[in-house]
Copies of this chain bind each other. A is one copy, B any other.
């Protein structure tokens, strides 16, 4: 089953386009409200506490989430066994498991990532096209039954240096990437919400075709950004919310609220 068909089926069942971003920040790394609550570490080690937090969030928000996106940088200390526990919990909630690793290496190393991501039970990984290798990565991922979400235009302000640069073909990089996705049957594009203009959204959507799923990070409290995405990003959207759910007093309620708001914008558009 492809990521696209899973996405369409789960979106229909849950009437949601919410992706919950799992960024479990250790309180030993980052103090304060942006970290996993101290309660998780009272009787557990740092790693056990972080794992419990992820499993809790999945259980609490699963009803509203089409997908979960685990950021590999936060998950660096987890072994294969912990990855498997996370993807099993996600599967139990009938959601898609995405490893957000921004993979961008030479072919043989990319192959290792796809092998382990597949062993760990993920449905898809994020991919950075900086090193090229898009054609090869599309084939490698397909062989492991994994979907790809390719960084096309990220949400942070500096992302434009490369992603908006004009390549030798005379095209902005994000458009070249979008066309490569379409040519290689890749099902997902990462398109940031914060700085992407309505025109850019439209250009990317036109280049990839209507089916490709836009995985959209960068949305928190700001409704404006979300409205631009829903207005110009096409139908197949997966709106990622991380900290605004993870650090909410009640993550379940926060996920329900985000799913509800996105649902309103999704239906208003039609």
A166 CA to B173 CA in the complex, in Å? Answer: 11
Oligomeric state, in number of copies? 2
Instruction: Verify A112–B29 contact, CB threshold 8 A.
Output: yes
**Distance in Å: Cβ of A175 to nearest Cβ of chain B:** 13
Q: Name, among A26, A30, A107, A154, the residue most crowded by chain B CB atoms within 10 Å (CB to CB).
A: A154
Does A38 belong to the interface (CB within 8 Å)? Answer: no
A-B contact pairs, 13 of them (CB 8 A): A47-B80, A71-B112, A73-B110, A73-B112, A73-B116, A77-B80, A128-B128, A128-B131, A130-B130, A131-B154, A132-B158, A162-B162, A162-B165
Q: What is A's interface to B at a CB cutoff of 8 Å?
A: 23, 25-26, 29-30, 34, 47, 71, 73-74, 76-80, 82-83, 102-113, 115-117, 119-120, 128-133, 151, 154-168, 173, 176
Nearest 9 A/B pairs, CB to CB: A132-B158, A79-B79, A77-B80, A130-B130, A76-B116, A73-B113, A29-B115, A73-B112, A74-B112
Q: With A73-B105, A133-B156 given, can you name 4 additional A-B contacts, CB distance below 8 Å?
A: A29-B111, A74-B109, A102-B131, A132-B157
